[in-house]
Amino acid sequence: MDNNEMHDTPREGARLGMSAVIGVALALLACNVFLFWRVHGLETVTSQWTATASQQISELRQAVATSDSTHVRNMEALRSDLEHQSTVTAGHAKIEAQKHAEQLAKELADQQQQQHQQVTSELSEIKQTAATTSTKIADVSSDVAATKSDIATTKSDLQNTVSELKRVTGDMGVLSDRIATNGKELGALRALGERNYFEFNIAKSKMPQKVANVQLWVRKIDPKRNKFTLQLLADDKTVEKRDRTINEPVQFYVTNARQPYEIVVNQVTKDHIVGYLATPKVEMARK
């Protein structure tokens, strides 16, 4: 190797080192420039964002303030409306209460008037009823007095009628209590209540007619002589009473009677006999 080559090699190394240094410096410079612009851009963006945020915050505060003011106004308006409505409602309530009170007072007055009229009407009816009752009592008293007089008269007539009734001996030889010859006298005997009396009107027939607990047949009638022939059935025994006369006690006994039964015929016609059957009040077996 010659000396020139030996001297060129260090020089090239120095140039290469210098180039590397310059390259690094340029790279650093470029990096710093980039970082500067990057930081500048970030500051700009940050400033704009801050301004925008501040504006938005300010607008928000203003909106909140406006909203609060509106809310307050709305609350005041609502309170005012409520007070007004309360005043109006209270007024209406007072008016309605007054109307209701007037209506109740009117109804009470009407009811009192109706009750007064009803009481007056009832008092009038009571007075009228009392007057009518007094009149009726007077009439009843008069009727009672008249009835007492009639009873006394009837009793006297009954006594007179009974005293006039005859005691007749019957066809069996037993003296009868009393016999009746007509309806008046038979009524007097019933009034005495000493015996049971059963009236009859029997036609001449082959079929018997039941009177109380006795069966009767009319076999023959003689109206000219006031006589009749009678057949009777009692206690399963048939007895014929021949040619008996009117107002004559036709007597016969039955099992449960101590006193005889009596048939009294008061009237005879061509084909009928009219009279009554008398039976004891208390029946008992004969000894």
Residues 102 and 179 in one domain: no
Q: Which of 103, 131, 159 is the last residue of a domain?
A: 131
Residues 194 and 239 in one domain: yes
Residue 155 lies in a domain: no
Residues 172 and 120 in one domain: no
Which pLDDT belongs to residue 154?
55
Residue 174 lies in a domain: yes
Which pLDDT belongs to residue 81?
79
CATH number reported for the structural domain that contains residue 257 in this entry: 2.60.98
Residues 179 and 118 in one domain: no
pTM score, two decimals? 0.46
The 3 state secondary structure assigned to 99-162 is HHHHHHHHHHHHHHHHHHHHHHHHHHHHHHHHHHHHHHHHHHHHHHHHHHHHHHHHHHHHHHHH
Residues 186 and 272 in one domain: yes
Residue 151 lies in a domain: no
Q: Which of 131, 149, 184 is the last residue of a domain?
A: 131
Domain total in the chain: 2
Residues 54 and 117 in one domain: yes
Range of the domain at 211: 168-280
Residues 114 and 205 in one domain: no
Residue 52 lies in a domain: yes
Mean per-residue pLDDT over the chain, rounded: 81
Average pLDDT (186-212) is 93
Residue 197 lies in a domain: yes
| DSSP-derived secondary structure for the chain | --HHHHHHHHHHHHHHHHHHHHHHHHHHHHHHHHHHHHHHHHHHHHHHHHHHHHHHHHHHHHHHHHHHHHHHHHHHHHHHHHHHHHHHHHHHHHHHHHHHHHHHHHHHHHHHHHHHHHHHHHHHHHHHHHHHHHHHHHHHHHHHHHHHHHHHHHHHHHHHHHHHPBP-B-TTSPBPS-B-SSHHHHHHHHHHTSEEEEEEEEE--SS-EEETTEEEEEEEEETTTTEEEEEEEETTEEEEEEEEETT--EEE--TT-SSPEEEEEEEE-SSEEEEEEEEESS-----
pLDDT at 58 over 70: yes
Which pLDDT belongs to residue 182?
93
Residues 254 and 197 in one domain: yes
Residues 267 and 183 in one domain: yes
Cα(37)–Cα(242) distance, integer angstroms: 178
Residue 162 lies in a domain: no
pLDDT at 209 over 80: yes
Q: Which of 79, 112, 131 is the last residue of a domain?
A: 131
Residue 234 lies in a domain: yes
Residues 172 and 272 in one domain: yes
Window from 7-21, 86-100, 147-161, 241-255 with minimum mean pLDDT: 147-161
Which pLDDT belongs to residue 162?
55
% of the chain with per-residue pLDDT over 90: 31
Which pLDDT belongs to residue 133?
75
**267, β-bridge pairs:** 274
Is residue 230 very low, low, confident or very high in pLDDT (cuts 50, 70, 90)? very high
- Look at 89 and 27; give whichever has higher pLDDT: 27
pLDDT digits (tens, 9 = 90+) for 149-195: 665 555 555 555 555 576 777 777 788 778 999 999 999 999 988 89
Residues 90 and 182 in one domain: no
Residue 236 lies in a domain: yes
